[in-house]
Amino acid sequence: MGHLLVNSSPALQVRQLSKGYGATQALLDVGLTTQRGSIHALVGANGSGKSTFVKILAGIERGDHGGTIAVGPRLVPASGMSPDLANDLGLRFVHQDVGLFDGLTVSENIALGHGFGTHRLGRIRWRRLESEAAALIDRYQIHATPRSTVGSLNSASRTMLAIARALGHDPDEGERILILDEPTASLPEREADLLAQMLKRFAARGQTILFISHHLREILQLADNVTVLRDGRVAADVPAADLTEDELVSHICGRRIVQAAVAARKADGGEQTLAVDGLVSGPLNGVSFSARRGEIVGIAGLQGSGRSTLLRTLFGHLSASQGSVRLRGETRRLAEPADAIRRGIAYLSEDRQGEAAFSGLSIRENVVAASLREFWRGLRMAHGAESRETERQIERFGVVTSGPEQALDALSGGNQQKVVLSRWLRREPWLLLLDEPTQGVDVGARADIHAALRRAAENGTTVLVVSSDFEELSLVCDRVLVLRDGVVAAEFHAPDIDPDSLVQESYLEPKEEAS
C-alpha cells in the first residue's frame, strides 16, 4: 500500500515490553515497530495481552523494568510511562467506548477534550469554539455541524468525531500517533467501511495509526503490517499483504480452526415450531416467516431494520400491535419475558453490559440467574449444585477465570459473553433468540460458540440469530432472512448463502422513493 514515506525512521518502536501480574505473565518481550504514515494492526485472542499493551502505552499500567518505548527520537522506559507523558509524546487514544456525550453538541464535545476558551470573566467564547469545531469537522470530513447533538450522528461519524477530538488541530499529523482500540466493533458494516476509508486517507497524509481489531478481513484490507499477540508474546509480525485470513487465524489461535460451512440439510426435516404471521411492531411492518425444529435461521438487515425488535417481540419484551405468533402450534400472547422463559424460549440481548450482565455479581450467580427455581431444594438454594453447574459451564466454554465466585466484571468482554450465553444454552430452550452472540469474542471462542449453536440445533432447538457479520450468518445458518422496509425482503437457503448478496439485499433502496 504505497504511502508517501517522508521519513523511514520508525514513528513508534516498542522493545522488550514485559508485564507480569504476580505469577502470570501478561506480556513477555513484546516488540513492535511502526513506520511513519503506516497503519499497523495489533491482533490477538481475548486475554492475549492486547489491552495490557495499550494500557502501558497509555500510561495507565506500568510496564516491567527493561522495556522501552520510543516515539520518534524520544526514548522512555516502559516502567516510567504516565498518561501525561504519553500525551506529551504524541500518543493519542480512542477507546472502544469513544467517550462522547450524546446530549451535548459537537462543538461542546470537542471543547471538553481541548478545554473551553473563555473571556476574561470566565464566559465561554462560543463563537470561536464553533468556528474551531467547524474547522475540525471540515478537516476530518465529518457529516455534522458544530451545533448538531452527538446523539443524532451515526456511529461512524461519532467515531470520527472522537478521532478528531483526539488529534485536534495540530498541523503535522506525522508527529502524532493515533491508537484505536476496536474502532469498528460496534459499527454496522457500511459504516465500518466508511471509517476504514477515512483511516486510509489519514495514513496517506502521513498519519501513523495503530489499531486493535477482531475483524480479520478489515485488518487485512486496512493494515500495512500486522502484529499478532498470543499468550503475551509476539506470535507473528508480518506485512498484511503476505497474509491470508486462514494464516492470520492460525497465528491468533496457535491452531487451525476448521470452520465448516453448514452442509445443506433437508429444509423439511423437522416439524414447524415457530410461525410468525403479519407481525407489526416498531419498524416491523408485517413480517411473516416460519422456522422448524433444529433449524438455524439468520436474520440479516441494517441496524434499525427491526432485527432486534423482532427477537424482543418474540420474547414478550415488546408487544406487537398486529399479527400473530404461533409457538409450537399455540397462539398465545406473551406479556412478559417471564412468560416466554417459562415456555422454553431464551433470548440474549446485543447490549451485554446494559441488558444481560449482572456485573457486580459472581459468575455463578450470572450462570444460574435464569434458572433459580431449578436450584431451589424446597428449603434452600443448593449453592453446591450451583457451583458445580457453573464449573461445568466454565469448562465447556473455556471461560478464563479463577473460579465460579469471581465477579463477572473482572472478566474480559469475550469471557463475559461466554458466561451470559451459557446461562441460556444450559437451559436447553426449544427456541433460542440470539442478538449478536459473538460480539467482542475472539476467533477461537467464536468457533466454539458456533459449534455450540450447531449442537443445540442438532438436539432440536430452533435458533434465530441476528448478526451484523454476514459472513457469520453464511457459515452458521441453514437459512437467512433479510429484513428491509419492515418486511422479510429476501430469503436464502444453505448452501447458497452468500455474504455479498446479503449485503446487497440489506442495502437495496426502497423502490418507490424515487419520486
Q: Which residues bind other proteins (CB under 8 A)?
A: 21-24, 26, 44-49, 51-52, 230-232, 252-255, 315, 317, 336-338, 340-342, 347, 349, 354-361, 365, 369-370, 372-373, 376, 379-381, 395-398, 400-402, 406-407, 409-412, 415, 423, 442, 444-445, 448, 451-452
Half-sphere exposure of 250 toward its Cβ, with a 13 Å CA cutoff?
Answer: 7
To which residue does cell 471543547 refer? 111
Residue 424: CB minimum distance to other proteins, A: 9
Instruction: List for the chain the helix, strand, coil content (%; round to 5).
Output: 40, 25, 35
Residue 504: CB minimum distance to other proteins, A: 33
How many other β-carbons are positioned within 10 Å of the β-carbon of residue 64? Answer: 17
* Phi/psi at 94 (5° precision): -125, 115
Residue 376: CB minimum distance to other proteins, A: 5
Residue 136: CB minimum distance to other proteins, A: 29
CA distance 277 to 488: 11
Residue 411: CB minimum distance to other proteins, A: 6
Q: Residue 10 class from Cβ within 10 Å (0-12 exposed, 13-18 middle, 19+ buried)?
A: middle
Q: Side by side, which strands form the sheet with 68-71?
A: 24-35, 10-21, 68-71, 74-77
Region for residue 70 given its phi and psi (left: phi exceeds 0; alpha: psi -120 to 50; beta: otherwise): beta
Choice between 202 and 315, CB closer to other proteins: 315
Choice between 176 and 307, CB closer to other proteins: 307
Choice between 402 and 515, CB closer to other proteins: 402
Residue 477: CB minimum distance to other proteins, A: 20
The letter for the amino acid at 317 is H
* Phi/psi at 23 (5° precision): -80, -20
Choice between 153 and 334, CB closer to other proteins: 334
Task: Write a three-state SS string for 289-322.
Answer: EEEECCCEEEEEECCCCCHHHHHHHHCCCCCCCE
Choice between 296 and 441, CB closer to other proteins: 441
Choice between 73 and 354, CB closer to other proteins: 354
The answer to whether the beta carbons of residues 463 and 299 sit under 8 Å apart is no
Residue 16: CB minimum distance to other proteins, A: 19
Choice between 283 and 337, CB closer to other proteins: 337
